[in-house]
Amino acid sequence: MTRSDRATEDFKAAARRVFARQGYASTKITDITDEAGRAAGGMYRYFDSKAALLKALADDLQDSRRGHIVHVAGDGHTMTTEADVRDHVQAYLRTYRDHLPEMVAISEAAASDPQFADIRAQIRATDVRIWRDHIAETRAHVGKPASDAAEVALMVVCLLELYCYNALHLGTAKADVDALAAFVYNGLTG
C-alpha cells in the first residue's frame, strides 16, 4: 500500500469514526483531520471536500454490499425458502451494521445535497431490483402471483432500511435476524 493509499484510508477511517460520534452535518473537515492525526489542509490532497470523502465511503459501501450478498447467499443463489430469505436479511443487516456511519451520513446528507439523494436512491433501487427478482421467484415457488413484485420489493427494502436504522443506529429495537426474516418470508408467501 502506497503512502497515498494509506493517507486516503486514514482519512476515510477517521471520517467514519467522527460521523459515528457526531453525525455528518455536525462534522467539520478539521474534526476529520484531527481524528486522523494529520494536518488540517492535508485532507485536500486526497478529497476536495467532506462530501467527496463521503462519496468515497459510499462507493466502498456499495462494493461491500455486493460482496456480502455473494458471501452469504453465494453466486447464483435463490430465494425460495425461509432460510434463503434469512440469508438475504442477514446480509442486509450485516452490511448496514458494518457501514452504519456511512448509511446514516448518506441519509443526513441526502436531506440537503442532491448528489447524496441520488446515491441513496441508487442504493435503494439496487436493493429493490434484487428483492423484486427474488420476490417473483419466491411467489412463483409457492404458487402465488408475482405481478406486484416491484411494489412489494420497495416495501421490503423500506422496512429493512427503517428497521436497521432503528435497531442499529437508534438502538430502539434488537436486531433479530430470525424474527425479521420470518416476518418478511410470511409476508411474501402469505
Please give the Cα distance from 185 to 81 (Å, whole number).
Answer: 8
pLDDT digits (tens, 9 = 90+) for 56-76: 999 998 887 766 555 555 556
pLDDT over 70 percentage in the chain: 94
Please list, in sequence order, all residues whose beta carbon lies within 8 angstroms of the beta carbon of residue 80, skipping any fewer than 6 positions away.
137, 138, 141
Backbone φ and ψ of 152, nearest 5° = -65, -40
**Residue 79 confidence class, pLDDT cut points 50, 70, 90:** confident
Question: Would you say 160 and 126 are in contact if contact means Cβ atoms under 8 Å apart?
Answer: no
DSSP secondary structure, 57-107, as one string: HHHHHHHHHHHHHHHHH-TT----SHHHHHHHHHHHHHHHHHTHHHHHHHH
Mark whether 130 and 103 lie in a shared domain. yes
What's the number of domains the chain is made of?
2
Where in the sequence is the domain holding 2, given as residue range(s)? 1-48
CATH number of the domain where residue 126 is located: 1.10.357.10
Nearest to 160 by CA among 148, 147, 145, 177: 177
Please give the Cα distance from 149 to 123 (Å, whole number).
Answer: 18
Mark whether 172 and 88 lie in a shared domain. yes
Mark whether 169 and 111 lie in a shared domain. yes
pLDDT digits (tens, 9 = 90+) for 87-126: 889 988 988 898 999 999 999 999 999 999 999 999 999 8
119-124: Cβ within 8 A, 24+ apart = 119/55, 119/58, 122/62, 123/58, 123/61, 123/62, 123/65, 124/157, 124/158, 124/161
Mark whether 133 and 114 lie in a shared domain. yes
**Residue 46 confidence class, pLDDT cut points 50, 70, 90:** very high
129 Cα distance to chain centroid: 15
pTM (predicted TM-score)? 0.85
Backbone φ and ψ of 156, nearest 5° = -65, -45
Mark whether 26 and 84 lie in a shared domain. no
Mark whether 99 and 140 lie in a shared domain. yes
